[in-house]
Homo-oligomer: A and B are copies of this chain.
Amino acid sequence: MEASTETNNKFSEEEQVVTPWEVAGNGGKIDYDKLIDRFGCQRIDQSLVQRVEKLTSQPAHVFLRRNVFFAHRDFAEILDAYEKGENFYLYTGRGPSSEALHLGHLIPFMFTKYLQEAFKVPLVIQLTDDEKFLWKNLTIEESRRLARENAKDIIACGFDVSKTFIFSDFDYVGGAFYRNMVQIGKRVTYNQVVGIFGFIGEDHIGKVSFPPVQAAPSFPSSFPHLFEGKGNLRCLIPCAIDQDPYFRMTRDVAPKIGYNKPALIESSFFPALQGETGKMSASDPNSAIYVTDSAKDIKNKVNRYAFSGGQDSIEKHRQLGANLEVDIPIKYLSFFLEDDAELEHIKKEYGAGRMLTGEVKQRLIQVLTEIVERHRTARANVTEKI
């Protein structure tokens, strides 16, 4: 039930490490089944997906159908409540550590946009510029600037502006939000955060103080201007599974301070171009497709760096076919090629060796270029209105 880190030595070196600050699989690949067991969350199965489709009267998002969002906590309870006519709200966020976002960063926001549209619910988006200031070598001003830049990319995902509140901690924390932080802090011991996050005595107390900041948006009273008088609204948090430790803590605290436990819907990690060894790294620009990449950049990166499961020679490839399990173009198409039939066709042809790596990469370049172009246009239309 606890996240491991290198610092608290709870897990041996062979174990995979997944925390909000570190993601490293055992020998490269993350074992998501093990993660679900250790974290104690539930797998999203086909019947849950079908229930979402029924309740929202539309096909489930690609990320849900294809199990990009693969785990949850109490998502079924959210659907039960929704079915009874109860409202809920969505909460997601980002730690603004880099200027430009890559496609992996967009995944929770693309999915959250779908959830907001499908369920017609309000959404709060937290930019944890304080977290990045605390964990990285950044000034406060630089952290805030990154938050503002990232906010534009997030807004460009096309949320319903009348139902969406985006804020940075350095600007918004205070009042009712601060009171919830203090409520939460009073219910979590230092020993508990050591167990959950692996803090050590040499860590500064800024880090120790942070978990309640990420927890607070899970409670509607942190946003009186949005939710006052709307009762004890439930909260659903779409996020990558590395954020689970924060919300396990939050869920422990919630009933003690009179709130519903927030529900979670959690994604796996978007793989690096070089292969599936965890999350993409912002420190290696060639490991990811950025929303600022030009069509030429995308073409270059996919052709040069996207790890291929195809065979060394055309002859061998025609004979053996591609190994789809490790093939990054196929992985990326599984995220972003919406047409199920076309995806199935490509996987079949490529797996059988009838399609070559170059052809698959070609299609991927088209798909990614289209997404990035669309994003660029949308971002250009975002005004300084935060």
Contacts and interface: CB of A to CB of B under 8 A. Distances in A.
A207 B191 CA distance: 13
A187 B205 CA distance: 8
Contacts of A156: none
Interface string A337-366: 000000000000000000000000000000
A347 to B, nearest CB: 48
A203 B178 CA distance: 20
A186 B204 contact: yes
Contact of A189 (B189, B192, B203, B212): B203
Q: How many copies does the complex hold?
A: 2
Nearest to A209: B209
A8 to B, nearest CB: 13
A196 to B, nearest CB: 11
Nearest to A199: B190
A190 B208 CA distance: 8
B189 A134 contact: no
Contact of A133 (B182, B209, B212): B182
B178 A204 contact: no
Interface in A195-230: 199-209, 211-212
Contact of A140 (B172, B183, B201, B212): B183
A190 B205 CA distance: 5
Interface in A272-301: none
A177 B174 CA distance: 9
Interface of A: 130, 133-134, 140, 169-175, 177-179, 181-194, 199-209, 211-212
Contacts of A200: 190
A175 B140 CA distance: 12
B186 A134 contact: yes
A116 B376 CA distance: 57
Contacts of A211: 205
A189 B201 CA distance: 7
28 contacts: A130-B182, A133-B182, A133-B186, A134-B182, A134-B186, A140-B182, A140-B183, A173-B178, A181-B209, A182-B206, A182-B209, A185-B204, A185-B206, A185-B209, A186-B204, A188-B206, A189-B204, A189-B205, A190-B190, A190-B199, A190-B201, A190-B202, A190-B208, A205-B208, A205-B209, A206-B212, A209-B209, A209-B212
A208 B206 contact: no
Given A140-B183, A170-B179, A171-B175, 8 more contacts: A130-B178, A134-B186, A170-B175, A170-B178, A185-B204, A185-B205, A185-B209, A186-B204
Nearest to A183: B140
A195 to B, nearest CB: 10
Nearest to A200: B190
A381 to B, nearest CB: 29
A245 B175 CA distance: 27
A198 to B, nearest CB: 13
B204 A194 contact: no
The 9 closest A-B pairs by CB, nearest first: A174-B174, A185-B206, A209-B209, A186-B206, A191-B201, A173-B178, A185-B205, A130-B182, A190-B201
A202 B209 contact: no
Given A130-B182, A170-B178, A175-B171, A202 B206 contact: no
Contacts of A189: 201-205
